[in-house]
Structure 1
Amino acid sequence: MEIVLEHVSKTYPGQREAAVEDVSLTIPAGEFVVFVGPSGSGKTTTMRMINRLIEPSSGRITIGGQDALSIDANKLRQSIGYAIQQGGLFPHMTVAQNIAVVPKLLKWDKKRIADRVEELLDMVGLDSAEFSHRYPRQLSGGQQQRVGVARALAADPPVLLMDEPFGAVDPITRGLLQDELMQLQAELRKTIVFVTHDFSEAVKLGDKIAVLGEKSKVLQYDSPEAILANPANETVEGFVGSGASLQQLNLLRVRDVEIEQRPTAHEGDSVAQFAAEIGDGWGIILDARDRPVRWTDARHLVGATSIKGIGLPLGETVSTASTLQDALEAILAERNASAVVTGSRGRYVGVVTIETLIESIRALREHHLGNPAIVDPHADDAVGSAAEGTS
């Protein structure tokens, strides 16, 4: 559903100054729009007015062409997914009960709810049998955030609001959660409004970015590419920062470059056949759901009677939705100068290599040759030097 804000303002009782003043913008249906701005700029207030957690003082907000104020507030919120920092889970409810909150309010039958909970846990990478009956205190921060996203998606809402949902997790987990969200969006095509203060996160996730200033004034509203190439003013330039050339790596996804294949096997497969396929190279061992779990080479298979337990754990993997920046970081941490790529539900897709990445960066540089502000002529040389250091 398209969301339109027309001259929206919010002034809190007892305050002379508006927290949000005269904001107008259109969020296209099925697109991922990121509000980015400094603390206190009103970006969260602006987002919360969409589902009327905060009522606007003036102006008009339409969702799918319907005035939000004409919809019962509770029904409106039940039709809009909402995910916040640390998941916002109810501590006295199990994971399954947390996810089922809105479907129960909508009076879904028990079987439909149970099926939906299982489907969503699988979708966000958690095993239903293992996690359904746990309580939030028994989960890691990343697991809590996954459950929070599952709960927001429970009733399959057309709109999803996300208020700095990954701000409280460590950088590695944050990157993985971002990738999973992008993978979900590729499948579901929700209209997503996402609030962050991290411009790199905005570039990675957003189809469009709204850079907001004081009182949520829209300083620039455009694609990440356009904002990186042509910041509207000095304030936006400050958000872009000096690392604009590296930000270009966040504009291409792993799915946009060549993905190579390596031999694969499951634990019950023939050792001899797997060894023959690997030859002088290396291969990947998959679990029963075709998710990569370990890598191995011919040395690991010598004398082995079973693939079970053979090889070494995989390091950091990337998904098809990951950016080339993510892929670079994963590759530089691996001894094979490549990173394993996963797709929907974490299933194996292939590998991306440092050679492919260097060629992609070189092509990206040539494409943007007319924009010296965002091109680093030595970017691919730096990547190549880093790769040599890992070999």
Structure 2
Amino acid sequence: MTTQNGATVTDPSGVRIELDHVSKIYPGATTPAVDDASLDIPAGEIVVFVGPSGCGKTTMMRMINRLSEPTSGRIRIGDQDALSIKPTELRRKIGYSIQQAGLFPHMTIRQNVGLVPGLLRWDRKRIDSRVDELLDLVGLEPGQYADRYPRQLSGGQQQRVGVARALAADPPVLLMDEPFGAVDPITRSTLQDELLRLQTELRKTIVFVTHDFGEAVKLGDRIAVLGPRSKVLQYDTPQTILASPADDTVAGFVGSGASLRQLGLMRIKDVELRDHLAVSADDTVEQVRTKLADCEFDWAVVVDQRHRPVKWVRESRLRHAATLSDAVEDLDVVSTHSTLEDALEAILAEQHASAVVTGPSGRYAGVVTLDTLIDTITRLRAEANAETSEP
């Protein structure tokens, strides 16, 4: 542990990665897929490679674990030359998560997650303990999911298992190749929040590939904007790239929605949450009516026994309901790790000008309101205008 400005910060368990003038030319190709690329990736950070299809971003990432062998250049992981390590040994020390999870369909979830520890000859008790720990970490109850097969899980659940498998041997480096690209937008946002939550605890070095600049802004401590042949057009923080694109090509890739994406730079944990009535899923209709009558709201969040929000209920729907389950409605939630952009989308999707927020362990934390977002946007615009008007 270290202390910064009075706050305790977890030391990174990840290591620095250095790509030094790395190139890749496939046999028979006339031009390199990656041409003389150099990057310094700090330990414990999420660095996102973003660029158009075919620019070589996946190839550059795959050279880190030698799934694609570099033609020239040097790659260092921590204090080791990656090219001096046997590829199979190297890959067992680097987690790898891909789109659609890549799980083995004939293996149970426990077997999938425990695969690499098994190859490293961990004993069975240690493997089982690690699998249970990781499934719980990614929000899947081990007793409920460990003995299922991938086909018995939703796409989002499979991606969670894919992340758990990548983390199984506690690698310092995690490579993620568009891991959330095949799921629906709501599930995708939830998985992004989960990754950010995990990273606050684990502090791995994560290299993440995407073609979605909004995802890069949300996840990245730094973003590498890549052009043809993985030329590094700009490598900086999301804030700097949004505010000062390096050239017209980067500005075009950032797009006209850059001002809205400023909302993607602030987390819900950075704004004030409002208390809002929560009722238990075990309450009777009469109990909920009484609670609503005693407060200023005409709707309530419904939480389970672990105080996790599962539904919401309007007062008007209670009038003719025999049980609470007859009146509840589906609920989309955001987490304290979600961005204000996520919150705005959730508010627009709901009918009560608020987004329900979860904190640690998915527990109900309060709501973020449309008024809060409007006040924040107004303040951000005022600050931006003040900066541009300075001589």
TM superposition score normalised by structure 2: 0.88
Query: Which residue of 1 is the match for residue 280 of structure 2?
Result: 266
Instruction: Give the C-alpha shift of residue 324 in structure 1.
Output: 0.7
Query: Which residue of 1 is the match for residue 352 of structure 2?
Result: 336
Q: What letter corresponds to residue 16 of structure 1 in structure 2?
A: T
Q: Secondary structure at the match of 1:187?
A: helix
Identify which range, 95-104 or 281-290, moves more after superposition: 281-290
1:275 partnered with 2:286: no
* Conservation of the 8 A alpha-carbon contact between 1:229 and 1:371: no
Q: What letter corresponds to residue 313 of structure 2 in structure 1?
A: T
Query: Which residue of 2 is the match for residue 381 of structure 1?
Result: none
How far, CA to CA, are the matches of 2:206 and 2:105 in structure 1?
Answer: 26
1:284 partnered with 2:284: no
Identify which range, 253-262 or 166-175, moves more after superposition: 166-175
Structure 1 residues 228, 131: CA separation in 2 closer, same or farther (over 3 Å shift)?
same
* Conservation of the 8 A alpha-carbon contact between 1:122 and 1:345: no
Q: Secondary structure at the match of 2:18?
A: strand
Query: Which residue of 2 is the match for residue 293 of structure 1?
Result: 310
Work out the number of aligned pairs and report it: 371
* Conservation of the 8 A alpha-carbon contact between 1:32 and 1:206: yes
Q: What letter corresponds to residue 56 of structure 1 in structure 2?
A: P
How far, CA to CA, are the matches of 1:171 and 1:242 in structure 2?
Answer: 21
1:365 partnered with 2:381: yes
Query: Which residue of 1 is the match for residue 151 of structure 2?
Result: 137
Instruction: Give the C-alpha shift of residue 356 in structure 1.
Output: 0.8
* Conservation of the 8 A alpha-carbon contact between 1:100 and 1:154: yes
Q: What letter corresponds to residue 375 of structure 2 in structure 1?
A: E
1:74 partnered with 2:88: yes
* Conservation of the 8 A alpha-carbon contact between 2:24 and 2:33: yes
Instruction: Give the C-alpha shift of residue 30 in structure 1.
Output: 0.7
Question: 2:106 is matched with which residue: 83, 92, 104?
Answer: 92
Instruction: Give the C-alpha shift of residue 40 in structure 1.
Output: 1.3
Instruction: Give the C-alpha shift of residue 344 in structure 1.
Output: 2.8
1:172 partnered with 2:186: yes
Instruction: Give the C-alpha shift of residue 311 in structure 1.
Output: 4.7
Q: What letter corresponds to residue 109 of structure 1 in structure 2?
A: D
How far, CA to CA, are the matches of 1:116 and 1:16 in structure 2?
Answer: 47
Q: What letter corresponds to residue 174 of structure 2 in structure 1?
A: L
Q: Secondary structure at the match of 2:163?
A: helix
Instruction: Give the C-alpha shift of residue 230 in structure 1.
Output: 1.0
Question: 2:169 is matched with which residue: 155, 158, 161?
Answer: 155
Which digits, 9 at most, give the CA deviation of each residue in 1:339-385, with x for residues without a partner?
Answer: 1101233221111111111111111112222566xxxxxxxxxxxxx
1:32 partnered with 2:49: no
How far, CA to CA, are the matches of 1:317 and 1:156 in structure 2?
Answer: 30
Question: 1:10 is matched with which residue: 24, 35, 38?
Answer: 24
* Conservation of the 8 A alpha-carbon contact between 2:34 and 2:60: yes
How far, CA to CA, are the matches of 1:345 and 1:179 in structure 2?
Answer: 12
Question: 1:54 is matched with which residue: 51, 65, 68?
Answer: 68
How far, CA to CA, are the matches of 1:107 and 1:279 in structure 2?
Answer: 59
How far, CA to CA, are the matches of 1:274 and 1:115 in structure 2?
Answer: 45
Instruction: Give the C-alpha shift of residue 334 in structure 1.
Output: 1.7
Structure 1 residues 301, 39: CA separation in 2 closer, same or farther (over 3 Å shift)?
closer
Which digits, 9 at most, give the CA deviation of each residue in 1:303-359, with x for residues without a partner?
Answer: 9998x6375234211011111111001011222211110123322111111111111
How far, CA to CA, are the matches of 2:274 and 2:327 in structure 1?
Answer: 20
Instruction: Give the C-alpha shift of residue 115 in structure 1.
Output: 2.3
5+ unaligned residues in a row in structure 2: which ranges? 1-14
Query: Which residue of 2 is the match for residue 376 of structure 1?
Result: none
Query: Which residue of 2 is the match for residue 382 of structure 1?
Result: none
Pairs within 5 Å for 1:202-241 = 202-241=216-255
How far, CA to CA, are the matches of 1:22 and 1:50 in structure 2?
Answer: 15
Instruction: Give the C-alpha shift of residue 140 in structure 1.
Output: 2.1
* Conservation of the 8 A alpha-carbon contact between 2:302 and 2:311: yes
Which digits, 9 at most, give the CA deviation of each residue in 1:222-250, with x for residues without a partner?
Answer: 01111111111111111111111111111
Structure 1 residues 274, 291: CA separation in 2 closer, same or farther (over 3 Å shift)?
farther
How far, CA to CA, are the matches of 1:292 and 1:176 in structure 2?
Answer: 14
* Conservation of the 8 A alpha-carbon contact between 1:249 and 1:323: yes
Q: What letter corresponds to residue 290 of structure 2 in structure 1?
A: A
* Conservation of the 8 A alpha-carbon contact between 1:81 and 1:153: yes
How far, CA to CA, are the matches of 1:313 and 1:10 in structure 2?
Answer: 53
Query: Which residue of 1 is the match for residue 333 of structure 2?
Result: 317
Identity of aligned residues (%): 64
Structure 1 residues 269, 68: CA separation in 2 closer, same or farther (over 3 Å shift)?
same
Structure 1 residues 250, 223: CA separation in 2 closer, same or farther (over 3 Å shift)?
same
Question: 2:268 is matched with which residue: 228, 251, 254?
Answer: 254
* Conservation of the 8 A alpha-carbon contact between 1:91 and 1:136: yes
Instruction: Give the C-alpha shift of residue 269 in structure 1.
Output: 6.2
* Conservation of the 8 A alpha-carbon contact between 1:123 and 1:345: no
* Conservation of the 8 A alpha-carbon contact between 1:8 and 1:20: yes
1:189 partnered with 2:206: no
* Conservation of the 8 A alpha-carbon contact between 2:178 and 2:209: yes
* Conservation of the 8 A alpha-carbon contact between 2:310 and 2:331: no
Which digits, 9 at most, give the CA deviation of each residue in 1:61-120, with x for residues without a partner?
Answer: 111121112223222111111000100111111111111111111222222222222222
How far, CA to CA, are the matches of 2:75 and 2:375 in structure 1?
Answer: 45
How far, CA to CA, are the matches of 1:75 and 1:24 in structure 2?
Answer: 24
TM superposition score normalised by structure 1: 0.88
Query: Which residue of 1 is the match for residue 12 of structure 2?
Result: none
